[in-house]
Amino acid sequence: MQQAQYQLIIVGGGPAGLTAGLYAARGRLKVLLIEKGAAGGQVLVTDWVDNYPGFVEGVSGFDLIDKMTTHADRFGLEKKFAAITSLQLDGDIKTVTLENSEVFTAKTIILSTGAKPRKLKVAGENEFSGRGVSYCATCDGPFYRNQEIAIVGGGNTAIQDALHLTKFATKVTVIHRRGELRATKILQEKAFCNQKIDFLWNTQVKEIRGDRTGVVELLLSHHDGDESILKVTGIFILIGITPNNEILPLDQLRTDETGFIVTDQEMATTIPGVYAAGDIRSKRSRQIINAAGEGAVAELSAERYLGHQAPDQPLNCSE
């Protein structure tokens, strides 16, 4: 019978993938983690993480990922940085093909591809991306010193980033299509008390307009049917996330109506030997700690599926 090169391949190097990688490498599995960009995923754009247990004073998103990577590296996690062009997940041996045509096989797969910011899908959004349209407040906030900007959204990310952006902008207008915020009470209180933050309720952005210099104004549409213009040089679109599922065989995996993968509580997908962890999973709570926890559960499930024993190695008692 054909032999798989790896016992486990992990697809995606955010907190879920890095934790699964840490567990697998520490558990002496023959494991490979494949990441298309830079390890870290969405945590990289998180300015400050204040609720990851053990980091009493909080930690920057970059530093947390750096520590997770270093931790997995300590156990010798093998990593490859390349985009995947196809995934064949059915059958006993799964096949992963990379953009350079390299092929890897494994008995089990953990999908931890994560999610990305959802687009507003209005005129001008793509045209002015990086020139006034942003999805990352921590990356781009300092470009808006002493300027007036807008934020679209009403969830935790939108309100936390609105607060962050008041460090730079003179005025931050939060545009929300509903009449109340979804963000947690503590964030709402901070935002309502902040003199620099204004709210436009029951309002939607219809068009982003600009010129050679970048974004200049937004065309807004209000609940009562009226339209208005808001002069801003920047618009931060923070309206939730959409799954990174482009490379996944969606005809074989059960997903929810928004394209996130459905698993059982052991992180098993509908395909035997294939698990999902982190933001790619269909779920309500999307926290870094969830992603890390799910990565651990997925790895332990994969080990059980493998009936795992450490690969045959001579016993070395000197370690």
Q: What contacts 293, CB < 8 A, 6 or more positions away?
A: 19
Report if residue 40 touches other proteins, rule: CB under 8 A.
yes
Report if residue 46 touches other proteins, rule: CB under 8 A.
yes
Q: Is the dihedral of CA 162, 163, 166, 168 positive or negative?
A: negative
Report if residue 62 touches other proteins, rule: CB under 8 A.
yes
Site string for other proteins, 234-273 (x = CB under 8 A): x---------------------------------------
Secondary structure class of 287 (helix, strand, coil): coil
Nearer to other proteins, 61 or 243 (CB): 61
Report if residue 169 touches other proteins, rule: CB under 8 A.
no
Binding residue (CB under 8 A) for other proteins from 212, 246, 257, 313: 212
Report if residue 97 touches other proteins, rule: CB under 8 A.
no
Nearer to other proteins, 46 or 108 (CB): 46
Q: How far lies 15's CA from each of 53, 79, 252, in Å?
A: 14, 14, 25
From the list 72, 101, 79, the residue with the least C-alpha distance to 11 is 79
- For residues 123 and 227, what is the distance between their CA atoms, to the nearest angstrom? 16
Report if residue 136 touches other proteins, rule: CB under 8 A.
yes
Binding residue (CB under 8 A) for other proteins from 108, 138, 245, 269: 138
Report if residue 214 touches other proteins, rule: CB under 8 A.
yes
From the list 6, 19, 9, the residue with the least C-alpha distance to 278 is 19
- Helix then strand count (H, E) for the chain reads 6, 17
Nearer to other proteins, 234 or 273 (CB): 234
Tell me the catalytic residues. 136, 139-140
Q: List beta partners, residue 97.
A: 86, 103
Stretch that binds other proteins, among 42-50, 156-164, 190-198, 273-281 (CB under 8 A): 42-50
Q: Which two tokens stand for residue 203?
A: 């309002």
Report if residue 130 touches other proteins, rule: CB under 8 A.
yes
Dmax (CA) of the chain:
76
**Backbone dihedral region of 40: left (phi > 0), alpha (psi from -120 to 50 degrees) or beta?**
left
Report if residue 285 touches other proteins, rule: CB under 8 A.
no
Site size with other proteins, rule: CB under 8 A: 35
Question: Which stretches of the chain bind other proteins, using CB under 8 A?
Answer: 36-40, 43-46, 60-62, 65, 81-83, 99-100, 129-132, 134, 136, 138-140, 142-144, 212-214, 233-234
